[in-house]
Structure 1
Amino acid sequence: MPNAFEFCLPTTAKAVPDGADWLHEIKYDGYRLRVERNGKSVRLLTRNGHNWTDRYPWIVQAALKNREQHFVIDGEAVVLGVDGVSDFNALHSRKHDEEVQLYAFDILMLGGEDLRPLPLWMRKTNLARLLRGRPEGMFVAPFELGEIGPDLFRAACRMGLEGIVSKRHDRRYIAGRTQEWIKVKNRTHPAMSRVEESFR
């Protein structure tokens, strides 16, 4: 298994792109996480390189139950409320670690093959195939294509969600900050106040 995986990081923007080359995902409020399975071993790694394998057992169990022995998934660790919306306070409290699931939105490696050079839409197809049947503990991020982006963002704001992430569906997975992933946040969401606090 390649060991040089790095996260692709979205660039913050004020407007959602509306071109045909983009796809759009709801931004869940959680912790970015990479799930690496190598045979009977699973590691959960954060953006800062912390190993959280022991923190989220449900995600580990879901990874081990998969028939595929070798894969690397990019996603977000989340706690879902009864309304299906991610609850960051519950996640942050550490009182619900047993309930934390993976909101999976990309796959970097499958069966020993590095998928990062493939366009996003092909990686999405591989991810959906790997996680078909929605195994408990992991679920595939739904997405919408094309010009619907701005409408989807307005709907997300009305629902009190954190925002959306828009991605070029024809591009490879790029390590580090990129303009090919665009993050637009709901200015009224509690996550915005957390960001502002961190700069004080």
Structure 2
Amino acid sequence: MLYRILHTVLPPALRAIWRPTIEGVDHVPLTGGVLLASNHLSFADSVVIPSVAPRDVVFLAKSDYFTGTGVRGALQRAWFEGLGMIPVDRDDSRAAIESLGTALEVLRAGKAFGVYPEGTRSRDGRLYRGRTGVAQLALQSGAPIVPVGLVGTEKLQPVGSNRPRLAKVTVRFGEPLEVAGRYDGVAPGRARREITDEVMRRIAGLTGQEVVPSYNPRS
């Protein structure tokens, strides 16, 4: 119930406040499982994308956001649960593996799942090498990958800030990348790497970010 209320009220309210520029929204399939693979500049990204996407989007979120105490903790937990986010312990390797299973369930249920191939926020605004989980999910589920380019969200909530601000934001949805059947006979590791690199090239084309050939250090 809370999820439906928030998703009915929040997106139009946030769009009215932030007034983002939205491009390529017609590239997002309206039905069926789909991965929205985005660059990651701000804590606010997981609110911005669901606010402008033409359908509900599920994201994973740090389990810390669901374990707070007192009134503030309860409100924070309700907020994240209401947005449809799923908690994951980033410091537990077993939990991280299980989270991929959760993502597959979301995709196989015909829903949209949001993922940040960089793994964590870019603190310097550059685009880091993608981790291959996005490709693994696409290969296992058969879901297409829609690259998403975010521009300006780092100004909505700068690193170290706990309050959102007004800023000019642009969200660009690229053409879907279909992987089903394209990598039959290709070694799994090679397929995952090639798909992920293609996704990151498409994201870079949407954002114009400087590309870094190394992984983003975890923050």
After TM superposition, is the score higher than 0.5? no
Higher-helix-fraction structure: 2
Q: Given the two structures, how large is their TM-score scaled by the length of structure 2?
A: 0.28
Higher-strand-fraction structure: 1
Q: Given the two structures, how large is their TM-score scaled by the length of structure 1?
A: 0.30
